[in-house]
Amino acid sequence: ETGVTQTPRHLVMGMTNKKSLKCEQHLGHNAMYWYKQSAKKPLELMFVYNFKEQTENNSVPSRFSPECPNSSHLFLHLHTLQPEDSALYLCASSQDLAGGLGQETQYFGPGTRLLVL
């Protein structure tokens, strides 16, 4: 079982659809993250969860709604997205919160490639 899995791997949705991205980590980590990777922008942190509690919301629009039911699972609920939301959405986990000077390593999943039409 690979460390961090994401489903689906590819998703095409219309602007009026509602869909969810799922992330699962099998590493026993306590912190989980959502990142957005757009074609022409560097990787951007969206949300951070630690022990199921959200610790960071990096000014993400409300059409993205995260959910963390337990330390192993992280969801990203999508509704009324815009074409500019098309991107690769990466989930990551780390043993403890990766902050500041610390060397805490983040382990990434393969991503969900989202296309909004």
Partner 1 sequence: AQKITQTQPGMFVQEKEAVTLDCTYDTSDPSYGLFWYKQPSSGEMIFLIYQGSYDQQNATEGRYSLNFQKARKSANLVISASQLGDSAMYFCAMREDTGGFKTIFGAGTRLFVKA
- Contact positions vs partner 1 (CB under 8 A): 4, 33, 42-45, 48, 55-56, 58, 88, 90, 92, 97-103, 105-111, 113
| Closest to partner 1 by CB, 15 or 43 | 43
Residue partners of 28: CB distance under 8 A and separation at least 6? 95
**Cβ of residue 51: shortest distance to partner 1, in angstroms?**
14
**Cβ of residue 56: shortest distance to partner 1, in angstroms?**
5
Closest CA relative to residue 33, chosen from 78, 97, 101, 82:
97
> Coil, helix or strand for 34?
strand
Q: Cα separation of 61 and 48, whole Å? A: 15
| Closest to partner 1 by CB, 57 or 70 | 57
